[in-house]
Amino acid sequence: MKYRIAMWAGAGFLVASYWALYAFAAMPTMLFAKPEIMILVRLTCPIALLSQYPLSLSWVLFANAATYALLGLIVETLGSQLNHAR
């Protein structure tokens, strides 16, 4: 179970890394980003909801990895409880 939660955290790190690379590549046009893209960013990277506060990239990567790890812990715990109930 620890390995799966670590995989969830790794996925969160990779998702935040992708959005950081996208933002750096599209910096001039990121200010006028399409609302659909910003909705997708906020759904996949919940720390982006705090975008009005200046956060360093390392904190964003760490926070998104921790968020995904917590989500993975919840999903894995509920999944194992449902399997034991059967």
Nearest to 45 by CA among 26, 19, 21: 19
Task: Report yes or no: 66 and 9 within 8 Å, Cβ to Cβ.
Answer: yes
Read off the pLDDT of each residue in 52-64 and give the average, rounded to a whole number.
88
User: What does pTM read for this prediction?
Assistant: 0.82
Residue 31: predicted pLDDT: 61
Local confidence band at 65 (pLDDT 50, 70, 90 cut-offs): very high
Local confidence band at 75 (pLDDT 50, 70, 90 cut-offs): very high
Residue 18: predicted pLDDT: 93
Nearest to 44 by CA among 15, 10, 24, 73: 15
Residues 6+ apart with CB under 8 A from 12: 64, 65, 66, 67, 68, 69, 71
- Tell me how far apart the 2 most distant CA atoms of the chain are, in Å: 54
Q: Which two tokens stand for residue 47?
A: 């720390």
